[in-house]
Amino acid sequence: MGGSDGQTYMVGAGQSLDRRQFLSTLAAGGVATVAGCGHPPVVLDMDEATADDVADEASTTVEPDSEEYAVVTSARENGSATRTGRYELFARTDTVRVEDTFYEVSETRLERTEVTVYEVVIEFDPDDPTPELGEVEYGDLPELDRRRLESVLSRQNTPDRDGYDVGVEYGTAEDVGAGSVFVPERQYDVIVDGEDRYRVGVNPRTAPEAEYQYEVTAAATTVDAFADRVRQQYLFTLGGLSEAEREVVAEAIDGGYFKDDDAFRSVVDRVREHEGLNVDDFHGTWLLAYEGTEYLTDAEW
């Protein structure tokens, strides 16, 4: 979401992120490095904000092949929609974007039950690879099993521990249908893939499941109209700064301010006096105007 100044940062094994994605990763507790440096203790970052940036920051775009899209379009066409699942779809947002229309979504839990979910566990280098139930060639597995297990069995570096090494969530028996030879009833306990032999187990467990009801209300039919709604609620002007505070802001605009000093604290305190787009105990995102330009501003303190 939001704009980028073109700078990229490395997160994990060679993945590059723009500056604001990088800051979001830090706020979410991700492991990040910048040119060999660790997580900065504080951050103030200000990116010039277009209408698209503002709309992206204040909403979540749902893709046509997603469960969220199916729920929103069904609720839009029928007045409401219901869904059964083990998690909320819109826990992080109540405004979604479908193409250029923005909807406010209400998600209400109606009834909660308990269901059995299954995890398929794999032992990469079993001491005894002799099957008890039977063995199956990886290439002969049903498509569902091959798709679920492909990323696990193709790992070059695998865990080395006693017993099973890794688990793959399969969901409920209803989720799987008749597409698996492991869930809900395990038909084989060894997978053969070339010279490799893997032991397979299945762990059932009980998990909460709920029925949810959804209703949607159109908030805006264009990006500009939605951005204006967001501005009316969140935009404020940052002004009356001291010279030291202005230097903090200048660096925040230029590439980010990372020093925990009095001027930084003073600027962040001024920002935190206003309602933010997303704010938690140690991080937040605000929309502000500074010297006639609008900025999406991330702060971590």
Would you place residue 92 in the very low, low, confident or very high pLDDT band (cuts 50, 70, 90)? confident
Q: Is the pLDDT of residue 268 over 90?
A: yes
| Ranges 20-24, 160-164, 208-212, 216-220: which has the least confidence | 20-24
DSSP lists the bridge partners of residue 300 as 43, 283
Q: What are the pLDDT digits (tens) for 177-194?
A: 999 999 999 999 999 999
- Quote the mean pLDDT of the chain: 88
Mean per-residue pLDDT for 217-231? Answer: 97
Confidence category of residue 11, pLDDT binned at 50, 70, 90: very low
> Would you state the pLDDT for residue 37?
47
Which three-class secondary structure string do you get for 75-133? HHHHCCEEEEECCCCCCCCCEEEECCEEEEEEEEEEEEEEEEEEEEEEECCCCCCCCCC
pLDDT at residue 41, as a whole number? 83
263 DSSP assignment: H
3-state DSSP of 147-184: HHHHHHHCCCCCCCCCCCCEEEEEEEHHHHCCCCCCCC
Q: Interhelix angle for 243-254 vs 262-272, to 10°?
A: 80
pTM higher than the cut 0.75: no
Residue 35 has pLDDT above 50, yes or no: no
Provide the CA 101 distance to its chain's centre, in angstroms: 22
Q: What is the pLDDT of residue 158?
A: 67
Domain boundaries, the chain: 8-100+221-300, 115-210
CA-CA distance, 250 to 252, in Å (whole number)? 5
Residue 237's CB: how many other CB atoms inside 10 A?
12
Confidence band, pLDDT 50/70/90 cuts, at residue 80:
very high
- What's the CA gap between 25 and 43, in Å, rounded? 12
Tell me, what amino acid is at 48?
Answer: E
**Which one, of 120, 115, 114, 118, lies nearest residue 204 by Cα?**
118
